[in-house]
Amino acid sequence: MTKIAIIEDDPVINQMYRMKFEADNFEVQLADNGSRGVAMVESFKPDIILLDLQMPHMDGTEALKEIRSHDWGKSIPVIILTNLGEEEAPKELRALGIHSYIVKADLTPRQVVGRVKEALGLN
Domain layout of the chain by residue ranges:
2-120
Residue 90, pLDDT > 70, answer no
Residues 6+ apart with CB under 8 A from 20: 109, 110, 112, 113
CB atoms within 10 A of CB 33: 18
Average pLDDT over residues 102-115: 93
Mean pLDDT of the 47-56 span: 94
Distance, CA of 123 to CA of 118 (rounded, Å): 6
pLDDT for 86: 67
Name the DSSP class of 49.
Answer: E
What is the separation of C-alpha 31 from the centre of its chain, rounded to a whole number of angstroms? 10
Task: Collect all residues with Cβ–Cβ distance below 8 Å to 8 and sequence separation of at least 6.
Answer: 14, 17, 30, 31, 32, 50, 51, 52, 55, 81
Q: What is the mean pLDDT of residues 52-68?
A: 93
Q: With a cut of 90, say whether residue 41 has pLDDT above it.
A: yes
For residue 72, pLDDT beyond 80: yes
How much is the average pLDDT of 111-121? 96
Architecture of domain 2-120: 3-Layer(aba) Sandwich (3.40)
Q: Is the pTM of this model over 0.85?
A: yes
Average pLDDT over residues 86-98: 74
